[in-house]
Chains A and B, each alone.
Chain A
């Protein structure tokens, strides 16, 4: 079974631009979560989607948005990029959001975004 795939793997953008990242979950998985990873802050939760609905959102500004399609594929968008948005953006999929966090989630390889 293929794992979680993310595209593109690397991206360089200029401050003020916008960017769209894509995530394809493991076949059969309906829940997709997004995380931002930086050396200083570690992994931080962005948002979680299940059945095309955003279930939860982390503490990030409105410039960060996302969506999920009927085939469970997900995209996240960052508008008006800032230098501080440079990070590794990770997507994770699971069968469904689990009660009490007992579900297993599988991470993709990430998209390395550099804002100059």
Chain B
């Protein structure tokens, strides 16, 4: 069964600290993995997309890593800011030849940055 598990479910850190969010998946055959940021009351916004051959991708203070052998990904946030408070969703796409039906969503990590 295609699944995406994220940990931790929630996380509270102090402003300026770093943190790492985890994503484990069993989706097969694998196409790509995305990380989304979802602010409260808003739709998800893409942070990174990584294919099988990419093991690191950065977007400002966000760095995603991918280990396709162990089927694990992480999202590292450096020097956190209050605006980083959001839910972070890991989404894995499988090779279906189609579109949105090939996406498997994690339930997200709820991150709170405290001043």
| Chain A contacts to B: CB under 8 angstroms | 4, 31, 33, 41-45, 48, 50, 55-58, 90, 92, 94, 97-110, 112
| B80 is an interface residue with CB less than 8 A from chain A | no
Closest to A42 in B: B107
Q: A33 to B43, Cβ gap below 8 A?
A: no
Question: What interface size band does chain B fall in?
Answer: 20 to 34
| Chain B contacts to A: CB under 8 angstroms | 31-32, 41-46, 49, 51, 89, 91, 93-103, 105-108
B91 to chain A, nearest CB (A): 8
Q: B105 to A44, Cβ gap below 8 A?
A: yes
Q: A48 to B101, Cβ gap below 8 A?
A: yes
With most chain B CB atoms within 10 A of its CB, the pick from A4, A41, A99, A112 is A99
- Kindly state the separation between the CA atoms of A92 and B45 in the bound complex, as whole angstroms: 11
- Kindly state the separation between the CA atoms of A110 and B46 in the bound complex, as whole angstroms: 16
- Kindly state the separation between the CA atoms of A94 and B46 in the bound complex, as whole angstroms: 13
Q: List 16 A-B contacts (CB under 8 A).
A: A33-B99, A43-B44, A56-B100, A90-B43, A92-B100, A97-B100, A99-B95, A100-B32, A100-B95, A101-B95, A101-B96, A101-B102, A102-B31, A102-B51, A107-B45, A109-B41
Instruction: Decide: A107 near B97, CB < 8 A? Known: A44-B105, A101-B102, A101-B103.
Output: no
B47 to chain A, nearest CB (A): 12
Q: A100 to B96, Cβ gap below 8 A?
A: yes
Q: A56 to B105, Cβ gap below 8 A?
A: no
Closest to B45 in A: A107
Contacts of B97 in A (CB 8 A): 99-100
- Kindly state the separation between the CA atoms of A56 and B98 in the bound complex, as whole angstroms: 8
Contacts of B108 in A (CB 8 A): 42
The 8 closest A-B pairs by CB, nearest first: A101-B93, A97-B99, A107-B43, A56-B101, A42-B107, A33-B100, A43-B105, A100-B31
Contacts of B91 in A (CB 8 A): 43
A24 to chain B, nearest CB (A): 13
Candidates A42, A104, A108, A110; contact of B105 at CB < 8 Å: A42
Instruction: Decide: A109 near B43, CB < 8 A? Known: A42-B106, A42-B108.
Output: yes
Q: B89 to A42, Cβ gap below 8 A?
A: yes
